[in-house]
C-alpha cells in the first residue's frame, strides 16, 4: 500500500528507531544542523503563502504562482534530477536527494536498527515530491484561468504540502538527528 499524505501528517506507521542516549553537546549540535536546513526550506514555502495572499488581495497576478512554485529550490531540485517541479521546491528536493543518496545510507550503515526509519523517510520524500508537483500543476491551471475554484485548489494543495513537510521534518529532527550526532554524520 502506498504512503498517503494523511499517513505522513498523522505519523501513521512510522517506525521508532532504537533510542540513542548520552549524546554530548557537540553530538547534539551535529544533529541540529538538519533542523537549521529545514528552517530554510520552510521559509521558502512561506514565500509561496505570501504570494498566494498577494494574489488573493489583488496585489499579484495569478500567473506568478506557477513559476514561483516550480522555482522553489525544493522543486528545482526535482526538475534537475528528473522529477517534475521548480526554487523553494528546488532546495527541498536537492535536500531530499542528498539525504537519499548520502545521508540515509550512512545512517543505515552506521546506526544499528535505523534501516526501517531510513526506508520510511525515503517513502515520505516521494509523498512530498508528489505534493509539490500537484501544487505546480494546479498553479498552472490557475495561470490559464484565474478563477476562484483554481485558486482554492492551490490554497488547499499548499496547506496539505506544508502540513506534510512540517510533519516529515519533525520526524527527521527527532528520530534521525540523534543517530547523526552519535555517529558524527554532519550536514
Per the structure, the complete domain to which residue 60 belongs is given by 23-182
- pLDDT > 90? residue 59: yes
- What cell was used for 98? 542528498
Query: Is residue 114 one of the residues assigned to a domain?
Result: yes
Q: How many domains does the chain have?
A: 1
Residue 18 covered by a domain:
no
Please state the φ and ψ torsions of residue 171, each to the nearest 5 degrees. Answer: -65, -45
Give the distance, in angstroms, between the CA of residue 54 and the centroid of all CA atoms in the same chain.
Answer: 23
**pLDDT tens readout for residues 168-182:** 999 999 998 998 888
Assigned domain for 99 exists: yes
Report the chain's mean pLDDT, rounded to a whole number. 83
The answer to whether residue 61 scores a pLDDT higher than 50 is yes
- CB 99 within 8 Å of CB 125: yes
**What 3-state DSSP class applies to 130?**
helix
Indicate whether 106 belongs to any domain.
yes
- CATH number reported for the structural domain that contains residue 178 in this entry: 1.20.120
Specify if 8 maps to a domain: no
pLDDT tens-digit profile of 5-56? Answer: 999 999 999 999 999 999 999 998 888 888 888 888 888 889 889 999 999 9
Yes or no: say if 69 and 135 are a contact pair by the CB < 8 Å rule: yes
Amino acid at each position: 500500500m502506498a504512503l498517503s499524505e494523511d499517513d505522513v501528517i498523522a505519523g501513521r506507521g512510522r517506525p521508532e528507531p532504537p533510542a540513542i542516549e548520552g549524546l554530548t553537546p557537540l553530538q547534539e549540535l551535529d544533529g541540529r544542523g538538519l533542523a537549521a536546513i529545514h528552517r530554510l526550506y520552510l521559509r521558502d514555502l512561506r514565500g509561496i503563502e505570501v504570494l498566494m495572499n498577494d494574489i488573493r488581495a489583488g496585489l499579484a497576478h495569478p500567473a506568478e504562482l506557477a513559476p514561483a512554485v516550480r522555482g522553489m529550490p525544493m522543486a528545482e531540485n526535482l526538475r534537475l534530477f528528473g522529477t517534475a517541479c521548480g526554487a523553494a521546491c528546488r532546495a527541498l528536493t536537492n535536500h531530499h536527494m542528498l539525504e537519499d543518496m548520502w545521508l540515509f545510507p550512512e545512517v543505515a550503515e552506521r546506526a544499528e536498527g535505523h534501516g526501517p526509519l531510513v526506508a520510511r523517510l525515503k517513502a515520505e520524500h516521494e509523498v512530498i515530491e508528489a505534493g509539490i508537483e500537484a501544487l505546480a500543476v494546479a498553479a498552472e491551471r490557475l495561470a490559464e484561468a484565474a478563477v476562484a475554484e483554481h485558486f482554492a485548489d492551490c490554497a488547499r494543495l499548499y496547506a496539505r504540502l506544508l502540513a506534510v513537510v512540517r510533519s516529515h521534518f519533525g520526524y527527521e529532527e527527532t528520530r534521525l538527528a540523534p543517530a547523526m550526532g552519535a555517529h558524527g554524520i554532519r550536514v
